[in-house]
Amino acid sequence: MLIQRVITSVPKVIKRDIGILAPALQKATDPIQQLFLDKIREYSAKSAGGKLVDATPELEKERKSELDRIRKQYDIKGDPKNFPKFKFEGMQSSFQSRIVK
């Protein structure tokens, strides 16, 4: 029964996968498609540094002021983009205290 289901479903899955992957595997022949791919590659090359892409000095200044506002509002030490690191030293859960006794 299981083998019969597998035999009937495998051709459907293969046909669906080929139908989905075929356009992705074809080379861009349309000039608009090619322009789109060129722009995506250009953007990925520009964004490789981790900074804002095509940022103006005004935008950088606004970003810095917003980060400073967040630092002051939440009393953040260091970079507000980093996730805080928590240290739980000297604390035991109720489960651990039962085991120790």
With a cut of 60, say whether residue 101 has pLDDT above it. no
Paired tokens of 53: 């892409």
* The pLDDT value given to residue 60: 92
Instruction: Tell me the pLDDT tens digit for each residue of 39-95.
Output: 999 998 888 877 788 889 999 999 999 989 988 998 888 777 777 777 777 666 666
Domains of the chain, residue spans: 13-74
* The pLDDT value given to residue 38: 92
Left if phi > 0, otherwise alpha if psi is -120 to 50, otherwise beta: which for 25? alpha
Instruction: Tell me the pLDDT tens digit for each residue of 4-16.
Output: 877 887 777 677 7
* Three-state DSSP class for residue 30: coil
Q: H/E element holding 45? A: helix 31-46
* The pLDDT value given to residue 92: 64
Q: pTM above the 0.85 mark?
A: no
